[in-house]
Amino acid sequence: MRLNQFIKQNRGDWQYLEQLILQLPKKKKADTIDEFQQAYQKVARQLSYSQTYFPNEDITRYLNELVGKAHNTLYQSQHSSWKQAYHFFSSKFIGLLLEQWKAVLIAMLLFLFGGLASFFAVIENPSYIYGILPEEMAQSIDPVSLGQEPAEVNAPLMSVEILTNNIQVAILAFAGGITLGILTVYVLIYNGVIVGAIAGLFWNYSNSYVFWAYIVPHGVIELLAIFIAGGAGLLMGYKIFVPGIYSRGYQLKKQTIRSVKLLIGTIPLFIIAGIIEGYITPSNLSLEMKYAVAAITAIALAAYMIIGHSLMRHRELKQASV
């Protein structure tokens, strides 16, 4: 493509971005920010083309200044508006999640694989519990007395400790993507093995109903968040291992940004799960009430996904009509 043709073909995009640069500080609406991001990314690609084929031309210097100005405007808008945070958690996070649902499903299946394997192993031979669980954990579990006496715990402290531990697990599962997903696979299977082994122990003592009443209230949200983080790590590892037409460095950068956004999106889920696990799980509520809490969290998650998807589709249709 010749220089004159390049300018003629793309001049409208540059003028449009210049208009948005003036409009964004005044409006700062989620839809306007979305339009700005799309225009900014498009012109940034054109700058890359111009730098390659017209490195010494004035148009390249102009585009470089335009993209730099757009970047600063976008950065300021994203970090000064609570609406952007609302937009992310209300729809953008759901969009990212739905785009990689297969990776999340694989993460869940890896967890279930480890859980079922250890569950049936402990049922077959209860002594395996001491080879599967860490010694301190195995000795601290009493499958007979759980639920018989009210638990005396410092709920706020427990909630913070649980939240910290769960986020660490999620970060490890996510960061494992840089090892081509090998560490992520290990983290998911290992955590499944732990839960499955304990479930097998309680099964052997005919106390499964009580055990799951202490797991599912927080577990529905907590496990989903871990599966999302694990799915992000698996997808990153896959893209690095099979980069397609792009370089591994490009895929690493792209998937890291995407995965970090997904990880950020799970933080509210971990906070809710930590509060439930710190306050409701060890409380004196009946087992039936604890199962009811689990059902409510599952319904709430489903509603969140449906509403978020609807908002995302609405914004996409609105942008398409502009």
The pLDDT > 90 percentage for the chain reads 26
Query: Which comes out higher in pLDDT, residue 246 or 169?
Result: 169
Confidence of residue 110 (pLDDT cuts 50, 70, 90): very high
Query: How far is 174 from 232, CA to CA, in rounded Å?
Result: 6
Q: Give the ranges where 92-215 is alpha helix by DSSP (H).
A: 93-99, 101-124, 129-132, 135-140, 155-175, 182-204, 208-213
What SS3 state is found at 2? coil
> So what's the pLDDT on residue 322?
45
What is the Cα–Cα distance from 62 to 56, expressed in whole angstroms?
11
Across all residues in the chain, what is the average pLDDT? 83
- pLDDT confidence bin for 105, thresholds 50/70/90: very high
Dihedral of the alpha carbons of 238, 244, 247, 253, in degrees to the nearest 10: -40
Q: Can you tell me the mean pLDDT for 33-47?
A: 84
Residue-wise pLDDT tens digits, 42-85:
898 898 888 888 888 888 888 988 888 887 777 665 555 566 67
Share of the chain above pLDDT 70, in %: 85
- Tens-digit pLDDT profile for residues 129-158: 988 888 888 777 877 777 565 555 445 555
pLDDT given at position 118: 95
Helix 101-124 with 216-241: angle, nearest 10 deg:
120
**Residue 7 exposed, middle or buried by CB count within 10 Å (0-12, 13-18, 19+):** middle
Helix pair angle (155-175, 216-241), 10° resolution: 20
Q: Quick check: 104 pLDDT over 90? A: yes
How much is the average pLDDT of 289-300? 95
Within 10 angstroms of residue 64's Cβ, the number of other Cβ atoms is 13
Task: Please give the pLDDT value at position 2.
Answer: 83
What's residue 109's pLDDT?
97
**What is the spatial distance between Cα 303 and Cα 297, in angstroms, rounded to a whole number?**
10
Q: Model's pTM, two decimal places? A: 0.71
Q: Where along the chain do its domains lie?
A: 3-80, 94-321
Q: Of 52, 77, 50, 79, which is closest to residue 65 (Cα–Cα)?
A: 50
Tokens of 91: 């729809």
- pLDDT confidence tier of residue 318, bands split at 50, 70 and 90: low
Rounded to the nearest 5 percent, the helix, strand and coil shares of the chain are 85, 0, 15
